[in-house]
Structure 1
């Protein structure tokens, strides 16, 4: 059996959901003097809570994100050296070549506070980056120590600017991930592994590959911000019927038949996960286990079921495919 992938979309639900009336947020950033090469407005533009409407920082919002970045410090720039030694077959050294590069050590600080303006309290107050934590950046290798030293000595301001910009953007992206994971509604795309008959001489090759292509096409119809409609479910029916037929036809207690049944159970399990039919997904996982060929893979199906159902239970929801009413349609 060969591997393929079926991609679909869903809404990743928050771990600490807020009431439905919470719909808006704004962002304010404060920069210290040494971080002025990246502006507060750039930081504010980059910050986000997926699934919420972003307002100007002067507007009244349900949530407010406050970001602060402290001084950016270069703690050192050191030239490093390594040597390549070439030896002949007898182990005698015939030549050596030296290489040099510069390692820059730097640090900065950052913090994030999320205020619940409705309740008048903070939801989060986190250190994004501690000044005591050090980062390093290495240059390319040079053939002379002078060139390696010149990398830093001749380009200090440019390098500092780029390092700071990348570091701050990375911390903002981390803050976005933390906030969206806790409170947001991120539209996620995911690709499930599926198995198909890749042996052209196999009698099932053509039909099996046709059904795999239909599976992939149907999976793409499943959107994060739209319900799973009867029409979408109907598009999967020929594929589901086919894999159920495979289980019935390849019924011998032989490895070749077990492999075909394995692919059918496996693919059906993830089809039902995508369709949010978790009862049938568990049935397929149990069937895969009982088939006794790579039966441990049944745990992969169960893991996806438990993850999806856990998200929905936390949010008191029955689906991860819906129109997000927190964000106006023209802003999606």
Structure 2
């Protein structure tokens, strides 16, 4: 009987311990905002035009116009005439070195264990390409001079499909060279446009971003805080879907306040130094830092991040969040803004010669 009582008591103890165990899970959400440029243009500069100069040897023909059309800087208006800034994209010759015949030997063994060597042949082309970009304004000031997009010194290779003899490989090369050259030119020029777009939008644009992120939420149904944690998560979910890059955050901030108040309360409830309490505080600091980041309040996010780092549970997250908040604060400062949520009406922008 004593053993039975002892076992029962032990099971009750284990059950109580499990009930208080803090099992945190990642709960995923998506959020959108408008990013700011790293090097903002003067405030009055709202339009741009594109010029693309391509070597005739690339064989692009009229497709040059299509490539120009694919250069898009979000948040600015593209014009056909003179914009506040002009993007000049220059693509030089595609140069091939002498083709080289290469052999690959495959070694295997037959049923008797004898070595069998089989040769395969291909033609390898080594080629180089150069592309660069300059940006200047309508007043004649150079903003960027000859930014390298492709360096002539970086050699690239293309290998034809393998054949059973050097003659077959050579014949394939001779018959297909023009097609191969055209395909390589198309791929390279498309890459140039992609790189130019990425750089221009990072430096000068206001691109809309949609990112995936997480909150840490208690997910142990036997823990006494489980219901409140799940409610906070559901409330957060219902508010964050209202957030978009084109509308101010006033309504979102108002509706998010009860979620913020809840995680603030958790920090005051779980104050001991044991691991379970530290985990509860960790989740609250982490979640509040993320919420403040997406509410464009980096100073408040840094406070939570620093508290997380001092909580003695995953200090690295605190440093990571502090860095993200500092970067956001710097971008807002450089762009003289207090929010990443605002409408951009490019149709209202006029070029400097209108």
TM class by shorter chain equals 0.7 to 0.9
What's the offset of the Cα at 1:189?
A: 2.3
Q: TM-score, normalised by structure 2?
A: 0.78
Answer yes or no: is 1:55 the counterpart of 2:74: no
**Aligned equivalent of 2:19:** none
Post-superposition CA distance 1:279-322 (Å, at most 9, x none): 32222112212221112211111111111111121122222222
Aligned residues of 2:285 and 2:308 also touching (Cα < 8 A): yes
Answer yes or no: is 1:34 the counterpart of 2:57: yes
- For 2:101 and 2:261, locate their aligned partners in 1 and report how far apart those are by CA, in whole Å: 66
**Aligned equivalent of 2:34:** 11
Q: TM-score, normalised by structure 1?
A: 0.83
Matches within 5 A, 1:43-192: 43-56=67-80, 59-75=81-97, 76=99, 78-79=101-102, 81=104, 83=106, 103-117=124-138, 119-126=139-146, 127-138=148-159, 144=164, 152-192=173-213
**Aligned equivalent of 2:279:** 259
SS in 1 for 2:40: coil
Indicate how the Cα distance of structure 1 residues 99 and 250 shifts in structure 2: closer, same or farther if over 3 A, else same. Answer: farther
Decide which structure has the larger Cα Rg and report it. Answer: 2
What's the offset of the Cα at 1:103?
A: 4.4
SS in 2 for 1:328: helix
Q: Which runs of 5+ in 1 are unaligned?
A: none
2:252 counterpart (232, 240, 243) = 232
Indicate how the Cα distance of structure 1 residues 279 and 115 shifts in structure 2: closer, same or farther if over 3 A, else same. Answer: closer
Post-superposition CA distance 1:239-283 (Å, at most 9, x none): 223322333333332222322221111111110111122332222
Aligned residues of 2:215 and 2:287 also touching (Cα < 8 A): yes
Indicate how the Cα distance of structure 1 residues 278 and 70 shifts in structure 2: closer, same or farther if over 3 A, else same. Answer: closer
Post-superposition CA distance 1:91-128 (Å, at most 9, x none): x88777767666442212222222211x2222222133
Q: Which runs of 5+ in 2 are unaligned?
A: 1-23, 350-354
- For 1:163 and 1:49, locate their aligned partners in 2 and report how far apart those are by CA, in whole Å: 26
More moved, 214-223 vs 178-187: 214-223
**Aligned equivalent of 1:328:** 347
Aligned residues of 2:243 and 2:249 also touching (Cα < 8 A): yes
- For 1:166 and 1:198, locate their aligned partners in 2 and report how far apart those are by CA, in whole Å: 48
**Aligned equivalent of 1:25:** 48
Answer yes or no: is 1:271 the counterpart of 2:291: yes
Aligned residues of 1:226 and 1:323 also touching (Cα < 8 A): yes
What's the offset of the Cα at 1:167?
A: 1.0
Post-superposition CA distance 1:119-140 (Å, at most 9, x none): 2222222133232321234567
- For 1:238 and 1:80, locate their aligned partners in 2 and report how far apart those are by CA, in whole Å: 70
- For 1:24 and 1:7, locate their aligned partners in 2 and report how far apart those are by CA, in whole Å: 31
Q: What value does the CA root-mean-square deviation take over the aligned residues?
A: 3.1
SS in 1 for 2:310: helix
Indicate how the Cα distance of structure 1 residues 308 and 144 shifts in structure 2: closer, same or farther if over 3 A, else same. Answer: same
- For 2:26 and 2:72, locate their aligned partners in 1 and report how far apart those are by CA, in whole Å: 36
**Aligned equivalent of 2:330:** 310
SS in 1 for 2:318: helix
SS in 1 for 2:34: strand
Indicate how the Cα distance of structure 1 residues 329 and 223 shifts in structure 2: closer, same or farther if over 3 A, else same. Answer: farther
- For 2:280 and 2:119, locate their aligned partners in 1 and report how far apart those are by CA, in whole Å: 57
- For 1:210 and 1:145, locate their aligned partners in 2 and report how far apart those are by CA, in whole Å: 70
More moved, 37-46 vs 78-87: 78-87
